[in-house]
Amino acid sequence: MLTDSEILELKKLLNQKNKIVITSHTNPDGDAIGSTLAMYHYLVKLGNSVEMLLPNKFPEFYSWLPDSDKIVLYDKSSKYAQTILKEADIIFSLDYNALHRLGALAEIVKNTSGKKILIDHHIDPEYESFDYCLSDVVTSSTGELIFDFISKMGDEELIDKKIGEAIYTGIVTDTGSFSFSCNRPETYIITSKLVSVGVDAQKIHKLIYDTFSENRLRLLGYAISERMIVWEELHTALIYLTKSDLKKYNYQVGDTEGVVNYPLSMDKVNMSLLISEKDNQLRLSFRSKGDFSVNDLARKHFNGGGHKNAAGGKTNEDIDGLIERLKTVLQDYVQELNYKITL
């Protein structure tokens, strides 16, 4: 949380026409991109010179967001990225709790001299890496926290349609279209304010969710019918996609987004996993409904983390080895995974 004196310091700082770089995490999702763009539009309005920097490519279905084409990708423009980071007076860290979530960018950001400001909703923020922290784990999304931050700066009236669309993208994607992390009245109060400044929620939903290529839809069908394993006694389902599966369906960044949610639609399943072979590693996506914490599981056993009901991880094992290990690891959670959602 920001103290009153920190808020005053930040107000002053952000009104001094600084050089600012906004960063967010590897494999950027809607909240990473939305928060980055919302902050960008706000800081530009204040008169700063602002750059947006992400470690790698984001899904095409976010490219309708105004100025998303100005986002610098570290894996494409590393020299330029290093220059802007070196010259930055301020670096924003949005939607990640620890610098290692920046991948190859982590060390560079760590060694820069600019003031570091964290705005994030993940568990256990790495406080020591930042000069200012607005961290709140109960908030739906970093997008929502950007709204809070701008309000705390006394600038709520600067939130226009463009900023609103970017914030809304963060909220709608991180709540799975208001289906999880969405039980706080504040989320709806903010959303209602966004609609009031002209955000078209219906259109944004279509732009994000109704843009499948034929290959993407067929990959989803294949994943569910051919690559899903259900472990009834563990109330768990997993889907795995090999490199050659992804190649067969001409995988594009973002094509596996959402796949992990489908197994949770079975009443008997409380945890779902997607294992995908990407960049010569296995990427894991975990989702749960109810009390089971996939964050704890991902942290303890799969080099990852995230939130209680949505987390990620990675491993260098092969798919068969990982599935075997998973089955063994989950034996320790048999009881924790056995519950039924009731009102």
What residues make contact with ligand 5GP under the rule CB under 6 A? 25, 29, 101, 285, 304-307, 310-314
N-terminal to C-terminal alpha carbon distance within the chain = 32
Report strand pairing: 49-54 vs 72-73.
parallel
Q: What's the closest the beta carbon of residue 104 comes to ligand 5GP, in angstroms?
A: 14
Q: What's the closest the beta carbon of residue 101 comes to ligand 5GP, in angstroms?
A: 6
**Residue number with the shortest CB distance to ligand 5GP?**
312
Among 174, 245, 257, 277, binds Mn ion (CB under 5 A): 174
Cβ 244 vs Cβ 219: under 8 Å: no
Residue 165 binds Mn ion (CB under 5 A): no
24 binds, among ligand 5GP, Mn ion, none (CB under 5 to 8 A by kind): none
305 binds, among ligand 5GP, Mn ion, none (CB under 5 to 8 A by kind): ligand 5GP
Q: How many CB atoms lie within 10 A of CB 138?
A: 9
**Continuous H helices in the chain:** 4-14, 30-45, 78-87, 106-110, 142-152, 161-174, 185-196, 201-209, 214-226, 243-248, 294-301, 319-331
- Buried b / exposed e over 1-33, threshold 16 CB at 10 Å, is ebeeebbeebeebbeeebebbbbbbbbbbbbbb
Q: What's the closest the beta carbon of residue 267 comes to Mn ion, in angstroms?
A: 28
Q: What's the closest the beta carbon of residue 161 comes to ligand 5GP, in angstroms?
A: 26
State which amino acid sits at residue 215: N
How far CA 123 is from CA of 87, 130, 137, 295, 309, in Å, comes to 30, 15, 6, 9, 12
The stretch near Mn ion (CB under 5 A) out of 77-85, 151-159, 174-182, 235-243 is 174-182
The stretch near Mn ion (CB under 5 A) out of 19-27, 36-44, 168-176, 325-333 is 168-176
> Which residues have C-beta within 8 Å of that of residue 209, sequence separation ≥ 6?
61, 177
Closer to Mn ion by CB, 145 or 163: give it: 145
Closer to ligand 5GP by CB, 114 or 306: give it: 306
**Residue number with the shortest CB distance to Mn ion?**
31
34 binds, among ligand 5GP, Mn ion, none (CB under 5 to 8 A by kind): none
Closer to Mn ion by CB, 227 or 307: give it: 307
Cβ 19 vs Cβ 88: under 8 Å: yes
Closer to ligand 5GP by CB, 191 or 272: give it: 272
- Which structure tokens are listed for 48? 């700063």
What order do you get walking across the sheet with 49-54 strand by strand? 72-73, 49-54, 19-24, 90-94, 115-120, 132-135
188: DSSP letter: H
Q: What's the closest the beta carbon of residue 176 comes to ligand 5GP, in angstroms?
A: 10
Q: Find the binding residues for Mn ion in span 77-96 (CB under 5 A).
A: 95
152 binds, among ligand 5GP, Mn ion, none (CB under 5 to 8 A by kind): none
Q: What's the closest the beta carbon of residue 223 comes to ligand 5GP, in angstroms?
A: 15
State which amino acid sits at residue 217: L
199: DSSP letter: -
Closer to ligand 5GP by CB, 101 or 289: give it: 101
**250 vs 248: CA distance, rounded Å:** 6
The stretch near Mn ion (CB under 5 A) out of 37-45, 80-88, 136-144, 188-196 is 136-144
Cβ 269 vs Cβ 263: under 8 Å: yes
Closer to Mn ion by CB, 174 or 255: give it: 174
Among 2, 23, 30, 31, binds Mn ion (CB under 5 A): 31
Closer to ligand 5GP by CB, 55 or 304: give it: 304
Q: What's the closest the beta carbon of residue 167 comes to Mn ion, in angstroms?
A: 12
Residues in touch with Mn ion (CB under 5 A): 31, 95, 141-142, 174
